[in-house]
């Protein structure tokens, strides 16, 4: 069992209070640092982004906006309207611009879809990203589909199809790879599911972590985007926050049937993106940027694979299979997720996500994000130290 001093126990109760106040999302490191200045947070392994992609974006931003003073235009003037930014993305995504809806982060799109299109019943796999059940309207019936520990939290395809056929929801959601466990459904299976479940009005696939996934050693990106041509009911949601490392500028988009997009635009969302998010999307479709992005993407995927393999060698931890940039880790020696997270923070300045509040997870789980190579090494060493010398 881990032991804590009196001062440490006091910090523990303050962290509990801050976590409670933050609701279903954990306090970020800036809140922790402000409220608990005695903490020295060195590594944020709670937040799920590719740090190398942030470096890349910052290089472009510095060169193109700051050094040239063009940043003034971005700040002073209105950004383009929703459909203008959507049109920028159309060629790159190879879908009609009339099917693209941009959002101030994917979270705004999730809210828009759930509030406008989901009216009766939704099926949600657990564990999940909490806004998918928190944002549904009160009158909507939520049916939970539990992913099981014994299946490594992998979706059971045939029983899922049976559940959907039995419940007849108007909306289903697949997060691919899933948050918080990183479970991945390959593209052929996604297509099979879409084919079997044509009757569902809104088939949502959240691809917010898709750039971290791969199906073979070529690390080629596999996306369901092209399937929106065949399946009218498919809505793809994409956050740029995690795999492009730009959560602060709030950029996301969705691909959906033209009439659904029209319905959303009729109700608002005119200038919902910031100038910086518009700048990002213009950059995102440029060959030069993309080429460099794919380099940092692959480098990060390879380092993440190595990191997960190192975590798996630590006694008393079970690392669940993940094709995202984080791993769901179960603690097997009776230590609570809270105590392990607290020790990581107090002794090593490492912040991990305690998953105690995640519905659908029975046991003690933490979620650890992959960071830079040197940070990952420190995380592995810290866990080894704690778990072998409690």
C-beta separation of 142 from 273 below 8 A: no
User: For the chain, how long is the longest CA-to-CA vector?
Assistant: 61
152: left (phi over 0), alpha (psi -120 to 50) or beta: left
Is 325 a residue that touches ligand PLP (CB under 6 A)? Answer: no
Decide if residue 50 touches ligand PLP (CB under 6 A): no
Interface characters, 193-212, with ligand PLP (x: CB under 6 A):
-------------x-x----
Single out the segment in contact with ligand PLP by CB under 6 A; choices: 64-72, 100-108, 141-149, 358-366.
100-108
- Considering only 4-12, 17-25, 105-113, 296-304, which stretch makes contact with ligand PLP by CB under 6 A? 105-113
Shortest distance in whole angstroms from residue 298 CB to ligand PLP = 21
Q: Per CB under 6 A, which region of 7-15, 60-68, 101-109, 294-302 contacts ligand PLP?
A: 101-109
Residue from 172, 174, 175, 234 touching ligand PLP (CB under 6 A): that is 175
Nearer to ligand PLP, 22 or 310 (CB): 22
Burial of 388 (0-12, 13-18, 19+ CB in 10 A): exposed
247 binds ligand PLP (CB under 6 A): yes
Match 């996604």 to its residue by tokens: 190
For residues 237 and 208, give the distance between their C-alpha atoms in angstroms, rounded to a whole number. 7
Indicate the residue among 41 and 247 with the shorter CB distance to ligand PLP.
Answer: 247
Among all residues, whose Cβ is closest to ligand PLP?
105
Among 56, 93, 106, 386, binds ligand PLP (CB under 6 A): 106
Q: Which residue has the tokens 């982004």?
A: 49
Burial string for 209-243 (b: 16+ CB within 10 Å, else e) reads bbbbbbeeeebeebbbbebbeebebbbbbbbbbbb
Give which of 301, 322, 359 is closest to 185, Cα–Cα. 322
- Contact (Cβ atoms closer than 8 angstroms) between residue 155 and residue 205: no
* Residue ranges binding ligand PLP (CB under 6 A): 105-107, 129, 175, 179, 206, 208, 239, 241, 247, 252
């Amino acid at each position: 069992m881990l032991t804590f001093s009196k001062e440490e126990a006091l910090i523990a109760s303050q962290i509990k209070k801050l976590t409670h106040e933050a609701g279903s999302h954990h306090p970020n490191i800036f809140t922790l640092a402000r409220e608990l200045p005695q903490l020295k947070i060195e590594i944020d392994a709670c937040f799920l982004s590719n740090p190398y992609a942030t470096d890349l974006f910052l290089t472009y931003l510095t060169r193109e906006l700051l050094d040239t003073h063009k940043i003034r235009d971005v700040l002073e003037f209105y950004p383009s309207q929703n459909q203008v930014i959507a049109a920028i993305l159309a060629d790159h995504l190879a879908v009609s611009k009339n099917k693209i809806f941009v959002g101030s982060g994917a979270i705004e799109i999730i809210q828009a879809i759930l509030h406008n299109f989901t009216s009766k019943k939704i099926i949600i796999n657990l564990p999940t990203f909490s806004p998918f059940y928190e944002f549904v309207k009160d009158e909507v019936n939520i049916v939970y589909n539990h992913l099981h520990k014994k299946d490594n939290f992998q979706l059971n395809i045939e029983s899922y199809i049976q559940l959907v056929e039995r419940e007849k929801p108007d909306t289903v959601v697949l997060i691919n790879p899933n948050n918080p466990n990183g479970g991945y459904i390959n593209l052929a299976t996604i297509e099979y599911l879409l084919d079997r479940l044509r009757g569902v009005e809104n088939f949502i696939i959240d691809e917010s972590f898709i750039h971290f996934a791969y199906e073979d050693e070529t690390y080629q990106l596999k996306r369901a985007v092209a399937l929106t041509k065949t399946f009218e009911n498919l809505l793809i949601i994409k956050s740029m926050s995690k795999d492009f490392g730009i959560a602060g500028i709030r950029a996301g988009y969705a691909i959906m049937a033209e009439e659904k997009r029209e319905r959303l635009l009729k109700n608002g969302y005119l200038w919902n993106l910031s100038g910086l998010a518009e700048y990002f999307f213009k950059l995102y479709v440029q060959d030069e940027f993309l080429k460099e992005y794919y380099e940092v993407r692959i480098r990060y995927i390879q380092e993440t694979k190595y990191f997960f393999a190192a975590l798996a060698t630590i006694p008393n931890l079970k690392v669940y299979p993940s094709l995202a940039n984080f791993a769901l880790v179960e603690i097997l020696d009776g230590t609570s997720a809270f105590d392990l997270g607290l020790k990581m923070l107090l002794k090593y300045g490492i912040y991990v996500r305690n998953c105690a509040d995640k519905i659908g997870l029975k046991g003690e789980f933490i979620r650890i994000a992959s960071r830079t190579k040197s940070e990952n090494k420190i995380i592995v060493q810290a866990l080894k130290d704690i778990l072998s010398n409690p």
